[in-house]
């Protein structure tokens, strides 16, 4: 596998999707086997990638570069650092789990798995792209599967299904009715998602094109641009070009994060999406925003990032509090989890805004940890919906008697989402809070209040679903008993708990990507690496560093046509 690990991870889902085209929907087990097999290849390669990543050497590793257009300076340039590696692993885990969560889908199963595989591959492509063109290409590729998965296999909300048209007839409930834009319909949710993400993606694209145009380097290669692009102090519209680009990049990608007030598409999308799609949506699709900001704005515009990142520190407070309060009063299980995810993404922005190596390391670890926690929650919300055909919390209750395994896993997922010791979320939250305190004490206080809110609405939902009296019309509901039904939950639980008790490799990998980035932004000499990733920080002199050569000493030129593992 070695040097080609990234290609296995990225293209295995694409190959699986292509293979499914030639299989009949009547061959149920073959369809499932191809989908699960391609996801398994990607997962195994991701595990190899994660556990063989050399955090002492750091930098971009497993690099592959294929020139696409010499004249335009575009190449399929793939590589992962300490920030991208855990997110690639999270995508592969959730894809594999999502295949089994969707094991019982009967309506056009083949087509469902094709689009699910393409969605996961697109997110993986973003996390390993070192070329701005292909980063944006994979970013936009993820929108198409989301639209189809929501519009075709999604579900309307309870409120929508109870509505009638002016003639007193039930609203139309047809998978093919793509022009149904009634509020709370799945078509409305799909279209809102596409319009929001596409509109703000245009802003991000403008920022990328401005970087390409005014860098004067005729390349989209991120590694070249971060070392040689000079975009400072170019006057434009009463300000400077670097600030305009930074604003376009930040808000263009923050919409998918989703940062308040650009968040409203996300909970609606969660509510309408099938369970596996919600898992990927909340687990990794939302992280594309944070990751793209880090990869583009932090890497290429470090000085502007230091100057303007307080914008995120202000907006993240609204994300945390607003999402928490709406989740508390929501009565739909997926709305609760959806607004919870929007709230928790505010913690990631807080860790990023503090520009401290502890807080940013915690933010990246939290992206990974949140993927596991929210993946569990959406998987079980989907199971409850499949058994009861409702997501209305007040009408449910007492399901623990019928679903002891699901209810037990739900408790663990809630503990992880809250950040209780015993799950990796706890470590990540503590690092964000500790690392952000010196710079943003008010935001940290708000973040702690957000944790209390999380406990309140998740316990409220858990009590409403699984405890108290049960309506006898749900007596037919049954627990997850087969290996296919239990496997995805057990994988995510094992990852969440396992990285709490054995966090050092995850910490060291993430730290190796964060340290040189923070050093470049704040002009702090990076931590001296040891076998355990420990070291001493020291402030640099007041004179700005003119070169980051020591950070890149072990790395050959990024323009090398082919580089093997361990190079940048």
Contact between 8 and 41 (Cβ < 8 Å):
yes
pTM here is 0.84
One pLDDT digit (tens) per residue for the chain, 568 residues: 567 889 999 999 999 999 999 988 888 899 999 999 999 999 999 999 999 998 888 889 898 889 888 888 899 999 999 999 999 999 999 999 999 988 888 878 889 999 999 999 999 999 999 999 999 999 988 888 888 888 787 776 655 444 444 444 444 443 334 444 445 566 777 777 788 888 888 999 999 998 888 888 888 988 888 888 776 667 666 578 888 889 999 998 988 888 888 777 777 777 777 888 888 888 888 889 899 999 998 988 888 888 888 898 889 888 898 888 888 888 888 888 888 888 898 899 999 999 888 999 999 999 999 999 999 998 888 888 888 888 888 888 888 888 889 889 999 999 998 888 999 999 999 999 999 998 889 989 999 999 999 999 999 898 888 888 877 887 788 888 888 888 989 999 999 999 999 999 999 999 998 988 898 888 744 444 444 444 444 444 333 333 333 333 333 333 333 333 444 4
Contact between 521 and 353 (Cβ < 8 Å):
no
Reduced 3-state DSSP string for 221-246: EHHHHHHHCCCCCCEECCEEHHHHHH
State how far the Cα of 18 lies from the Cα of 301, in Å rounded to an integer. Answer: 39
pLDDT of residue 272: 75
- The angle subtended at Cα 170 by Cα 164 and Cα 176, nearest 5°, is 115
pLDDT of residue 149: 85
Partnered with residue 67 across adjacent β-strands are: 75
* β strands within 204-360, DSSP E: 235-236, 239-240
What does the block give as tokens for 302? 């470090």
Contact between 182 and 170 (Cβ < 8 Å):
no
CA distances to 12, 84, 166, 264, 345 from 564, rounded to whole Å, are 20, 17, 65, 43, 34
């Amino acid at each position: 596998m070695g040097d080609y690990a990234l290609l296995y991870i990225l293209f295995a889902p694409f190959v699986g999707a292509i293979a499914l085209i030639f299989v009949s929907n009547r061959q149920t087990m073959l369809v499932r086997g191809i989908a699960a097999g391609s996801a398994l290849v990607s997962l195994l390669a991701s595990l190899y990638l994660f556990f063989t990543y050399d955090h002492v050497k750091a930098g971009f590793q497993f690099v592959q570069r294929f020139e696409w257009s010499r004249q335009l300076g575009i190449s399929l340039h793939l590589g992962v650092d300490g920030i991208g590696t855990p997110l690639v692993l999270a995508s592969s885990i959730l894809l594999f789990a999502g295949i089994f969560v969707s094991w019982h889908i009967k309506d056009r199963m083949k087509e469902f798995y094709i689009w699910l595989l393409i969605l996961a591959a697109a997110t993986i492509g973003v996390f390993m792209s070192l070329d701005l063109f292909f980063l944006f290409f994979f970013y936009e590729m993820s929108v198409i599967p989301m639209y189809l998965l929501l519009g075709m296999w999604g579900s309307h909300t309870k409120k929508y299904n109870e509505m009638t048209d002016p003639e007193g007839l039930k609203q139309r409930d047809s998978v093919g009715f793509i022009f149904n834009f009634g509020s709370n319909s799945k078509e409305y949710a799909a279209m809102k998602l596409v319009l929001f993400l596409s509109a703000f993606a245009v802003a991000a694209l403008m920022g990328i094109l401005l970087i390409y145009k005014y860098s004067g380097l005729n390349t989209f290669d991120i590694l070249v641009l971060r070392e040689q692009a000079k975009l400072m102090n170019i006057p434009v519209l009463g300000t400077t070009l670097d600030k305009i680009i930074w604003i376009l990049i930040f808000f263009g990608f923050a919409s998918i994060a989703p940062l308040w007030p650009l968040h409203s598409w996300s909970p609606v999308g969660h509510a309408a999406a099938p369970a596996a799609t919600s898992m990927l949506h909340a687990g990794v699709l939302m992280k594309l925003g944070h990751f793209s900001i880090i990869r583009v704005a932090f890497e290429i515009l470090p000085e502007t990032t230091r100057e303007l990142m307080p914008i995120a520190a202000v907006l993240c407070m609204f994300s945390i509090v607003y999402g928490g309060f709406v989740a508390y009063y929501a009565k739909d299980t997926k709305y609760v989890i959806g607004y919870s995810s929007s709230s928790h993404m505010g913690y990631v922005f807080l860790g990023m805004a503090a520009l401290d190596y502890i807080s940013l390391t915690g933010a990246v670890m939290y992206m990974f940890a949140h993927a596991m926690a929210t993946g569990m929650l959406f998987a079980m919300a989907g199971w409850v919906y499949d058994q009861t055909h409702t997501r209305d919390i007040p009408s449910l209750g007492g399901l623990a008697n019928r679903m002891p395994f699901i209810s037990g896993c739900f408790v663990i997922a809630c503990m992880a989402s809250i950040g209780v010791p015993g799950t990796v979320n706890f470590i990540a939250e503590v690092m964000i809070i500790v690392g952000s305190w010196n710079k943003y004490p008010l935001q940290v206080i708000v973040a702690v209040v957000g944790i209390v809110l999380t406990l309140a609405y998740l316990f409220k939902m858990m009590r409403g679903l699984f405890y108290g009296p049960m309506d006898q019309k749900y007596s037919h509901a049954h627990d997850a008993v087969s290996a296919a039904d239990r496997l995805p939950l057990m994988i995510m639980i094992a990852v969440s708990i396992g990285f709490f008790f054995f966090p050092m490799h995850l910490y060291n990998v993430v730290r190796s990507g964060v340290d040189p980035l923070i050093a470049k932004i704040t002009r702090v000499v990076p931590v001296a690496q040891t076998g355990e990733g420990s070291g001493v920080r020291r402030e640099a002199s007041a004179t700005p560093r003119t070169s980051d050569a020591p950070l890149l000493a072990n790395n050959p030129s990024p323009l090398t046509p082919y580089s093997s593992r361990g190079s940048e």
